[in-house]
Amino acid sequence: MPLCDFCFKQTLAFVVNYTGLPARSFYVLIITLISFNPAVEAQQVSPFQTGHYSPVFSNVRDMARGAPGLAIVWYNQYMFSNKYADRDGNLYSDIPLDYFFPELPAVDLNVELGSFATVPAIFYGLPKPILGGAQWMIGVVPSYIRADASIITDQRGGVINTDLNQEASATLTGFGDLYVAPLGLTWSLDHWDYTFYYGFTAPTGRYEPGADDNIGLGFWTHQPQIFTYYYPNVDQSTALMLGLTYEYNTKAKGEDLNPGNRFSLEYGISQYVTERLELGIMGGHNWQISDDKGEDVFWDPSVRDKKSTLAFTAGYWAWKQRLQIVGKYGFDYAAVQRFKTNMFMLNVIFATNALTGANKNNNTQ
């Protein structure tokens, strides 16, 4: 799934390139937020390089056994942020640049960021079980992203200096990197579901070293996942979820940079309060677990970013077992070297009943 922190980073890159700041302020603004040193600007590498996977992006039961045939899960996510967490976890809404660089004038940086991602995930579940009763799922997950940002620099102390007081804004749009899951297996019991997925993310999104309008991350990611569901009741009205995701990242395109690998832990509970109404709580943690490597790594690679997310969901089956609409609100906490974001999501799940191998379908409306 796409991770919109990168949309923020790329939008900031675009804004910075067009602020007209003098060389010294230009250097500080970049190094503080996206760590572009003018000496390595052509590579456009950054210690804020995120991964591809975003915990808590999917719905609580999305990785459990699904209906056979073709299904569409259409995710729509809006994220916004105006606070940045440094390497010590300190949050800044007005970022004091002299805190990071004491030799500089007292200048505050205010950032407003927002992004929208629409992700129509298409999955197919084989009608016949394999490997001891497992359901085999395959999926393709494209994404389209829009990111907006505004940046204001303001010198403190009542000093008016047009070189240091600047304002700019920018918008980026485009298709993101493509996630493909060729292998998904789910084994089901009365009280348990066990799911394994292997997927990869291809760098199909717009990306060129040194460009200020990149949307993709510029590298491949291999992504194995394990999810477990426990159902206290045989009717599975209550579900407890635990998931693990590992991201193995390859070298970035056109750069001597291999971003560090990542690990995510997710958990959640889903409860049907009626046959159609589902309420849920989800949480997740995302950690960079290995150092960034390569000749283009000009920052301290021992500083690894992380963040945690908590979300609340409500879903309603408008068409029983065929069409579900899910609303979600989530927020980050315990972020390190990341923007702290809030998100709203509106997701649609549609079990098409196509390609099930059955002659006809019986559905309750």
pLDDT band for position 153 (50/70/90)?
A: confident
Mean pLDDT for the stretch of residues 339-365: 81
Mean pLDDT for the stretch of residues 55-66: 95
**Which pLDDT does position 25 carry in this prediction?**
38
> In which residue are the tokens 């298409």 written?
122
> Is pLDDT at 32 greater than 50 in this prediction?
no
Name every residue whose Cβ is closer than 8 Å to that of residue 198 and which is 6 or more positions away in sequence.
181, 182, 183, 184, 222, 223, 224, 225
**Which pLDDT does position 104 carry in this prediction?**
66
What's the rounded Cα separation, in Å, for the pair 224 and 55?
Answer: 14
> Is pLDDT at 232 greater than 50 in this prediction?
yes
Mean pLDDT for the stretch of residues 234-238: 96
**Which pLDDT does position 110 carry in this prediction?**
84
What's the rounded Cα separation, in Å, for the pair 90 and 112?
Answer: 18
Mean pLDDT for the stretch of residues 312-325: 97
pLDDT band for position 161 (50/70/90)?
A: low
Percent of the chain with pLDDT over 70: 81
> Which pair of tokens denotes residue 97?
């640049």
**Which pLDDT does position 220 carry in this prediction?**
97
Of the ranges 113-117, 225-229, 300-304, which one carries the lowest mean pLDDT score?
Answer: 300-304
User: Can you give the pTM of this predicted structure?
Assistant: 0.86
* Model confidence pLDDT, tens digit, residues 240-299: 999 999 999 999 988 888 999 999 999 999 999 999 999 999 999 999 999 999 888 877
Question: For 112, which DSSP code?
Answer: E
Q: Where are the domains of the chain?
A: 5-47+57-349
**Which pLDDT does position 163 carry in this prediction?**
66
**Which pLDDT does position 36 carry in this prediction?**
26
Of the ranges 70-79, 149-158, 326-335, which one carries the lowest mean pLDDT score?
Answer: 149-158
Please tell me which residue, 35 or 342, carries the higher pLDDT value: 342
Mean pLDDT for the stretch of residues 214-241: 95
**Which pLDDT does position 47 carry in this prediction?**
58
pLDDT band for position 46 (50/70/90)?
A: low
Please tell me which residue, 340 or 156, carries the higher pLDDT value: 340
Of the ranges 67-71, 94-98, 144-148, which one carries the lowest mean pLDDT score?
Answer: 94-98
| Residue 351, burial from CB neighbour count under 10 angstroms (0-12, 13-18, 19+) | buried
**Which pLDDT does position 103 carry in this prediction?**
66
> In which residue are the tokens 């426990």 written?
230
> Which pair of tokens denotes residue 361?
């379908």
Q: Cα(first)–Cα(last) distance of the chain, in Å?
A: 31
**Which pLDDT does position 296 carry in this prediction?**
82
Spatial contact of 312 and 343, defined as CB atoms under 8 Å apart: no
What's the rounded Cα separation, in Å, for the pair 31 and 23?
Answer: 12
What's the rounded Cα separation, in Å, for the pair 195 and 197?
Answer: 7
> Is pLDDT at 351 greater than 60 in this prediction?
yes
**Which pLDDT does position 323 carry in this prediction?**
97
Of the ranges 33-42, 188-197, 305-314, which one carries the lowest mean pLDDT score?
Answer: 33-42
Please tell me which residue, 302 or 323, carries the higher pLDDT value: 323
What's the rounded Cα separation, in Å, for the pair 339 and 147?
Answer: 14
**Which pLDDT does position 19 carry in this prediction?**
39
**Which pLDDT does position 113 carry in this prediction?**
86
Q: Tell me, which fold does domain 5-47+57-349 have in CATH? A: Porin (2.40.160)
Query: How does strand 69-85 pair with strand 107-125?
Result: antiparallel
Name every residue whose Cβ is closer than 8 Å to that of residue 362 and which is 6 or more positions away in sequence.
none
